[in-house]
Amino acid sequence: MCGIVGIVSSKEFPVRGELLARLKKLEYRGYDSVGFATSEGLVMRGVGELSKFIVRVPAELEAKAAISHTRWATHGGVTEANAHPHSDCEGKLFIVHNGIIENYEELRKGLEKLGHCFETETDSEVIAHLLEERLKRGGMKSALMSLIREAKGTFAVLALRKGEERIYAAKRDSPLALGIAKGGFILGSDIYAFSDATDKAVFFDDDEIAVVDAKGYEFFDAAGKPVRKKVTRFKWARQEEAGHGHAHYMIKEIHEQPLAAERLIRSLETEQAKKVGKLVGMMRRAKRVVLVAAGTSYFAALLGVYFLNRQNVMAHTLIASEFENYVYVDKSTLVIAVSQSGETMDVVSALKFAKKRGAKIAAIVNVPHSTVQRMSEVSLEMMAGQEVCVAATKTFTNQVIAMLFLASKFGFHANFESLPLQIEKTIAANEGKAKALAKELKGRNDVYIIGRGISYPSAREFAHKLKEIAYVHAEGMMGGELKHGTLALVEKGTPVFSLMPAGDVDIVSNTKEVEARGGRVIRISTATDSDFSIPAENGGVFAILSVVIGQLLAYHIAKERGLPIDKPRNLAKSVTVK
């Protein structure tokens, strides 16, 4: 994973106020450690979040070219030594890397035999030494061509040589974009890195190299042939960094859901109507529709399958990382990726696999111009705006709305008009209750959430929020499956949430089975006397509103426990490694 940013400019820029301020925008990609290198050869690294590191960087430090990195550790512990940038043996070449060099051990052994000394446990360091070695035979361009030839795995790499005001870049699979700004260029893992400075970007394709200085940029393919690149103009809502009036982004984003929902519904009915029509056409023509996603997006996709199957559209879904193993796709399949970031490596890999098998590709994404969007024939935008908290909240809701909207074109009933207001009412009526319950549950480590049919994906997402934000071991499961094993874990006082949409008589029985064993049942239903009452007139709306309760509860338990809500341990918002 990780985020990388590089800047080359005709004028000196402040490292702290410019380079690191831009890197901060990519911290959602990982926050284990941070570091930068300037063209003067100054390198600084530190463990932990950028805010702790930045105070050590002199405010007056300036550079004309610099690269930086925020890390989500894969190979090698979270230590200062393993923080990027990494350098060659002589300390004259620096690299930052996002991705995984799969054959790094083999490359490292070969380079060690040639006398290279390694100082870290990372896979990335091998890039610096490989470039150093290949520079003996030619220039940086040919060294990067060697990297492309010799390295297996994924990479977005920025390299800088001491004394040169120029950045070299190469990429495969991991995302990389070049922002064309006034007086210089900004390279970043995605457009967040420069969306406040320009609306013009060039997106790297796989196995491309770029050489960028303050005057311009050149792109080359893996064989070193110049490539003409298209400049894309993008529109992206900027996120204010502070002063949003909430203690955390998570609660801000929970409260934004009515507005985000309304924005999406309006957009699907108007500016995105053509794309909706195109996608629906593709769905009608396909023999089967397969949704692919990870994490929260998978639970939204699962709801999509429920909605579509009800309307006799043959739909399936599978977690992206197992897609190749468990799903059959061919020319007659339409694969729809569901992804907030549009950069999740598991999803990208699944799409590549599906493409190879001749399937058609479409997507529902939040971040425009993301890799997934660019791989898709048609792509709906979630219109949720930037989501900063690692936990998906408003994007989940908008993903489900997008699914509902598509299903409504096949006859699934949903009242889109009243939905934003229902979300608002649900938050208003239940936040106090969630806060109170959080006090009771803050010491519990095992919680179950049961749902059937349309509520099952919501039970899974409810549990997902409790796990990632409140660090509660939570299991979201099919109500009917409880009695086949898990019920053995229910004892006196075990908290079990029951998602009970109107008319679901079987979940009533499953709930009673828990109660009979002394479980502490917490009912979420449309009944006004339930523990959490939600104004849902149909299943689709119930599925969304019940998750909103889970979001509130996870937030307040995490708050009670004093946890780092927006940046939970070990996680990152955009997971760009397998």
2 is catalytic: yes
Task: State which of residues 27, 468, 475, 504 lies at the interface with ligand M6R (CB under 6 A).
Answer: 468
Tally of CA atoms within 13 A in the half-sphere of 302 that contains its CB: 22
Q: CB of 297: closest distance to ligand M6R in angstroms?
A: 4
Beta bridge partners of residue 151, listed in sequence order: none
State the distance between the two ends of the chain, measured CA to CA, in whole angstroms.
9
Note the helical H segments in 293-391.
Answer: 295-310, 323-326, 345-356, 371-375
Q: CB of 230: closest distance to ligand M6R in angstroms?
A: 25
CB nearer to ligand M6R: pick between 341 and 422: 341
Pick from 320, 402, 332, 327: nearest CA to 360: 332
Beta bridge partners of residue 320, listed in sequence order: none
Q: What's the Cα-to-Cα distance from 57 to each of 20, 230, 344, rounded to whole Å? A: 10, 36, 32
**Binding of ligand M6R at residue 302 (CB under 6 A)?**
no
- Check: CB of residue 83 under 8 Å from CB of residue 70: no
- Of all residues in the shown chain, the one whose CB is closest to ligand M6R is 295
Q: What's the Cα-to-Cα distance from 99 to each of 33, 127, 151, 447, 577, rounded to whole Å? A: 15, 12, 11, 35, 6
CB nearer to ligand M6R: pick between 133 and 253: 253
Q: CB of 464: closest distance to ligand M6R in angstroms?
A: 6
DSSP string, 164-193: --EEEEEEESS--EEEEETTEEEEESSGGG
Q: CB of 334: closest distance to ligand M6R in angstroms?
A: 19
The two tokens of residue 484 are: 């086949």
CB nearer to ligand M6R: pick between 297 and 498: 297
Count other C-beta atoms under 10 Å from residue 75's C-beta: 16
Note the helical H segments in 527-578.
Answer: 539-560
What lies within 8 Å, CB to CB, of 505 at 6+ separation is none
Interface region with ligand M6R, contact rule CB under 6 A, candidates 89-97, 266-274, 389-397, 547-555: 389-397
**Binding of ligand M6R at residue 340 (CB under 6 A)?**
yes
User: Given 331, 352, 573, 578, which residue is catalytic?
Assistant: 573
Q: CB of 114: closest distance to ligand M6R in angstroms?
A: 39
CB nearer to ligand M6R: pick between 283 and 572: 572
Q: Which amino acid is at 471?
A: Y
Q: For ligand M6R, what does the binding mask look like between residues 342 and 381, x meaning CB under 6 A? A: --x--x----------------------------------
CA distance linking residue 324 with residue 356, whole number of Å: 11
Interface region with ligand M6R, contact rule CB under 6 A, candidates 238-246, 338-346, 440-448, 533-541: 338-346
Whether the CA torsion 541, 547, 551, 556 is positive or negative: it is: positive
Site residues for ligand M6R, 505-564, by CB under 6 A, read none
Interface region with ligand M6R, contact rule CB under 6 A, candidates 119-127, 163-171, 274-282, 388-396: 388-396
Q: Which amino acid is at 7?
A: I
**Binding of ligand M6R at residue 392 (CB under 6 A)?**
yes
CB nearer to ligand M6R: pick between 144 and 402: 402
CB nearer to ligand M6R: pick between 15 and 350: 350
Q: What are the phi and psi torsion angles at 517 (to 5°)?
A: -100, 10
Interface region with ligand M6R, contact rule CB under 6 A, candidates 277-285, 384-392, 415-423, 490-498: 384-392
CA distance linking residue 279 with residue 284, whole number of Å: 9
Nearest-10 Cα torsion for 106, 128, 16, 26: -40
CB nearer to ligand M6R: pick between 20 and 575: 575
| DSSP 8-state symbol, 523 | E
**Binding of ligand M6R at residue 390 (CB under 6 A)?**
yes
| Residues of the chain by 3-state class (helix, strand, coil), percent to 5 | 40, 25, 35
**Binding of ligand M6R at residue 455 (CB under 6 A)?**
no
Task: State which of residues 120, 296, 398, 525 lies at the interface with ligand M6R (CB under 6 A).
Answer: 296
Whether the CA torsion 92, 96, 97, 102 is positive or negative: it is: positive
Q: For ligand M6R, what does the binding mask look like between residues 253 and 292, x meaning CB under 6 A? A: ----------------------------------------
Q: CB of 320: closest distance to ligand M6R in angstroms?
A: 8
Task: State which of residues 154, 272, 321, 341 lies at the interface with ligand M6R (CB under 6 A).
Answer: 341
**Binding of ligand M6R at residue 494 (CB under 6 A)?**
no
CA distance linking residue 430 with residue 65, whole number of Å: 51
Using DSSP's 3-state secondary structure scheme, residue 365 falls into: strand
Rg over CA atoms, the chain: 25
Q: CB of 449: closest distance to ligand M6R in angstroms?
A: 15
Interface region with ligand M6R, contact rule CB under 6 A, candidates 76-84, 341-349, 409-417, 447-455: 341-349
Q: CB of 17: closest distance to ligand M6R in angstroms?
A: 29
Task: State which of residues 294, 351, 441, 534 lies at the interface with ligand M6R (CB under 6 A).
Answer: 294
**Binding of ligand M6R at residue 297 (CB under 6 A)?**
yes
By DSSP bridging, strand 315-319 and strand 333-339 are unpaired
Binding site for ligand M6R (CB under 6 A): 294-297, 339-341, 344, 347, 390-392, 468, 571, 574-575
Question: Which amino acids are annotated catalytic?
Answer: 2, 573
